[in-house]
Amino acid sequence: MEHSLLRYLRREILPTTHCPGCGCGQVLNAFVNAIDELQIDPKEMIAVTGIGRSSWIPSPYLKCDTLHTTHGRPVAFATGVKVIRPQNRVVVIAGDGDLAAIGGNHLIHAARRNVGLAVFLVNNYIYGMTGGQVSPTTPYGVPTTTTPYDNAEYPLNIAELMAAAGANYVARWTTYHIRKLIAAMKEALQKSGFAFIEIISQCPVSYGRRVGLRDGVAFMEHFKENSVSVNKARNLSEKELEGKIVVGKLIERDRTEFTESLRRVNRLASQRRRTT
Ligand SMILES: Cc1ncc(C[n+]2csc(CCOP(=O)(O)OP(=O)(O)O)c2C)c(N)n1
Ligand code: SF4
Ligand SMILES: [Mg+2]
């Protein structure tokens, strides 16, 4: 008997090329569960990705219209898609390097504009696909290919940045919290405006071996033991939160979605043109 979720995937190219134990498979699994539970018709959805291992989650495996764009630019392409096709659900799935480093400004300003995108940033703390270079989310003190002694930079709290920039929905979960992640994906996919989930995921190959977490199971245990809920974190000091992963919903608000605002301004402009 065939698995019912296989209908969302391009079977002809399965199995995936992700390494054994890579979190990308869990994120893909969570995503197809979310669209299945919401009964979303994949024909109504456009998935946009950049370049990186996480970008392979929707493209080429997902059976919907996909736009596999250049490194750092998926949010810019997705904004264009949403402006032209506001009736469609537009989803971006890409890595921490893609969205928080080279694509950081696109991300901040799409959140500020509140563009109607569901953006799932797969944070494996590293440039996974290219062999383990430091990324803006790599923890302080961790050695990488480009910081061989250790990392002298502090990591970016990308989820809090999205909340501060104005996103309508921001959450953070790990690949260990799979049911919570599916529920958050469902919320994000139904939210009007910019919806963002930071998914803490694992790259045992390019990151894990640097920190003594050599397989997927070791990462699951690590995520389980080191996660604290948003509510609990409110009562903890910065020192107590060192090395912890704060999980849950960071913010939910209801600012008007960007393409809706754009249509309002366009109507205003045509009224003015008629009266002058
Ligand atoms: C403009 C440009 N710069 C650099 C690269 C090389 N490159 C490809 S993927 C990547 C980083 C991937 O890291 P991330 O986005 O975190 O994805 P992951 O593989 O970790 O999922 C880089 C630097 C590129 N393809 N294009
Ligand atoms: S190198 Fe890392 S991110 Fe890339 S497929 Fe392997 S485990 Fe996943
Ligand atoms: Mg990465």
Q: What pLDDT score was predicted for residue 133?
A: 98
**CA nearest neighbour of 78 among 258, 260, 255:** 258
Q: Give the nearest ligand 1 atom to 24 CA.
A: 21
Q: What pLDDT score was predicted for residue 122?
A: 98
Distance 130 CA to ligand 1 centre (A): 6
Gap between the Cα atoms of 128 and 189, Å rounded? 26
Please tell me the number of the ligand nearest to residue 18's CA: 2
Q: What pairs with residue 48 in β-bridges?
A: 67, 92
State which of 56, 123, 129, 213 you would mutate to test the pocket of ligand 2, scoring each by most atoms of that ligand within 8 A of its C-beta: 129
Q: What pLDDT score was predicted for residue 14?
A: 86
Q: Percent of the chain beyond pLDDT 90?
A: 95
Residue with token string 């921001």? 170
The bridge status of strand 227-229 relative to strand 45-49 is unpaired
Q: Report the largest interatomic distance among the alpha carbons of the chain, rounded to a whole angstrom.
A: 70
How many other C-beta atoms lie within 10 A of the C-beta of residue 48?
Answer: 29
**CA nearest neighbour of 238 among 138, 161, 181, 154:** 154
Q: What pLDDT score was predicted for residue 2?
A: 86
The bridge status of strand 227-229 relative to strand 245-252 is parallel
pLDDT tens-digit profile, the chain (276 residues): 889 999 999 999 888 889 999 999 999 999 999 999 999 999 999 999 999 999 999 999 999 999 999 999 999 999 999 999 999 999 999 999 999 999 999 999 999 999 999 999 999 999 999 999 999 999 999 999 999 999 999 999 999 999 999 999 999 999 999 999 999 999 999 999 999 999 999 999 999 999 999 999 999 999 999 999 999 999 999 999 999 999 999 999 999 999 999 999 999 999 999 987
Q: What pLDDT score was predicted for residue 227?
A: 98
Distance 262 CA to ligand 1 centre (A): 32
State which of 28, 53, 130 you would mutate to test the pocket of ligand 2, scoring each by most atoms of that ligand within 8 A of its C-beta: 53
Distance 238 CA to ligand 2 centre (A): 31
Q: Give the nearest ligand 1 atom to 94 CA.
A: 15
Q: What pLDDT score was predicted for residue 64?
A: 96
Q: What pairs with residue 121 in β-bridges?
A: 94, 198
Ligand 2, CB cutoff 6 Å, lining residues: 18-19, 22, 24, 53, 124, 128-129, 203-206
**CA nearest neighbour of 188 among 83, 245, 260, 117:** 117
Q: What pLDDT score was predicted for residue 276?
A: 79
Distance 145 CA to ligand 1 centre (A): 14
State which of 26, 28, 93, 130 you would mutate to test the pocket of ligand 1, scoring each by most atoms of that ligand within 8 A of its C-beta: 130
Q: Give the nearest ligand 1 atom to 50 CA.
A: 15
